[in-house]
Chains A and B, each alone.
Chain A
Amino acid sequence: MFTRVKKFFDSELSMNDLFGSFQSNFLAYLFILPQLVVIGIFFIYPTIKSFRMSMFRSVPFRGLVNFVGLKNFIDIFQSPAYLQSIVVTLIFGLLVTVLGVGVSLVIAKMLDVVVRGVGFYQAAVIWPYAISPTIAGIIWGFLFHPSHGSISYFLPFELNWLTNGEEALVLVILAATWRQLGYNIAFYIAGLKAIPTSFQEAAVVDGANGWQRFWRITFPMLSPITFFLVTMNLIYAFFRTFGLIHALTQGGPAGYTNLMIYKVYTDGFTDLRLGYSAAQSVILLLFVAGITMFQFKFAERRVAYQ
């Protein structure tokens, strides 16, 4: 084996002589190795460690040594702050997803109808996607600032999201949705382009109006993309909006924007409650596992459609 490896590195030409065809398992594993190493060290091992840590509690100066079993989980579910965090996260995730996917479909459909200037329109609706959740938070925080925000000036009512939790939650939902629209629209544009025109033409011949054509043909044909986007938006809302919260509300006021991903960080890195934070990581894992199962289940159904 080792002489083969040595020969392999000595001359690149010899590879074909050595392995003859594409049937070599050795070469295959060599190609797969980097991915396996990264997954093992930075994904699998830390996840197992997370489970372990979630059953310990830290002792000052000695680290995470005190085994407490499921006590961390019991504490979590008895903590009003954590229960509030779950509720807020669910509201946030659902609204960001429904708003984001729905609005994007409407915009993409409008783009699909126009012929002239489509390149410009497309670029102009996609560009907010380049902005990070952090920067979206900063920009929206400024636009809607209660005392000197330019949009709050034009609003017919007085904004006070610095102290009003519900307003703060609405603000982070809008900022997060806005930032993700470009991504959703791009996928819908690609999906609409992939629908064969013959389907539409046949429906026109059959006398279907635009509205019927949309709901009977376009929408069902787009359903794989819609499901994909629902999954991606849920994952985005649950796991990629840390910067938005950190820059805009820091979880406040009164915990109204304290998303689970934000709490896992503050409990672990600010308050140094390591076991408690690890237990929250495990709960987040269950969340994402649920979303992924949903996606896989759908992926199977999609094969059945074809």
Chain B
Amino acid sequence: MITMVKKIRDKVDFRILIHILLILTIFVLSFPLIYTFIVSTQSLSAAVAIPPNLKVGGGIIENYATAWGRANMGRVLLNSGIMSLSVTVGKITVAAMTAFAIVFFDPPGGRFIFFITLLTLMLPIPVRLLPTHEVVSSFGWIDTYFALTLPYFVSATATFLLRQFFKTVPQDLVDAARVDGASPTRFFFRVLIPLSRTNIAALFVILFIWTWNQYLWPLVVTNSETMRVMQLGISFLIPKGGTGMPPWNIIMAAVVIAVLPPLLVLMIMQREFVKGLIEPEK
């Protein structure tokens, strides 16, 4: 009995220690973001004051309005939104179709196609930067949404994860659908896709954030300001070289705007994100 009490007491102390450690960790990890927000509300002189000023300032409306205009936020948000949603939906759709065909039809060459798909993991953009740029420009796609979206329409991760999941769907379910006279496409849309929604949600979060944060490819396939995506818009706010003080308060206001869409996606779908990450049991 006494040892039990002691055990419980130890456990409680331990838990409190962990809570304290976690709060410290969160403070350290979140400080850059919290500070970014604070600076985005200050005047420039307060933002760069020494010693640092950690008070929220009164310039919030002014700074955000300036950032909105200077980075052409309306257009940039639209471009990044179109790009991220199309790429995410495109990647998942194309991958789901492939995984579906490979698992449920088992056509000749299916394994080879899966292998080729995994091979794309080895071919990130830097590995084929110049020639892919050439292909896209030979199509006349420079400064178009085609260039920003279509070359991304394949995801080895999504194909792999969905294939793993589809394999766990019981054969009975397939047979039942067949007996009910469901066509393969009907089975795909009505049974398979709803069943894999947690995995698809996790993929959506990862792929949306990944696309929203793309930088190198948009940099080489867009030149005009009307096609600029968010990450480029932000980096153009920072003067390269020169001795002038960068307008940090405006830059940080733009950063907050740029971070909001992926942050919202992450926060809203956090539960599915964590749940859908782990492959189902084989």
Contact = CB atoms under 8 A, between A and B. Distances in A.
Do the two shown chains form a genuine complex with each other? yes
A132 B231 contact: yes
Given A39-B154, A135-B234, A246-B215, A278 B116 contact: no
A144 to B, nearest CB: 10
B226 interface: no
Contacts of B263: 127, 130
A21 B215 contact: no
Contacts of B259: 130-131, 135
B135 A41 contact: yes
B50 interface: yes
Among A44, A121, A132, A235, chain B packs the most CB atoms within 10 A around the CB of A132
B277 A187 contact: yes
Contact of B274 (A49, A190, A243, A265): A190
B240 interface: yes
B215 A42 contact: no
Contacts, number: 276
Given A32-B97, A190-B277, A243-B213, A126 B26 contact: no
A124 B127 contact: no
B22 A28 contact: no
Contacts of B98: 31-32, 34-35
Contacts of A85: none
Contacts of A21: 178
A243 B182 contact: no
B105 A25 contact: yes
B120 A43 contact: yes
A257 interface: no
A292 interface: yes
Given A25-B108, A148-B48, A19 B184 contact: yes
Interface in A97-134: 107, 110-111, 113-114, 116-117, 121-134
Those 8 A-B pairs whose CB atoms lie nearest each other, nearest first: A132-B213, A150-B52, A243-B215, A28-B105, A49-B131, A46-B131, A31-B101, A16-B183
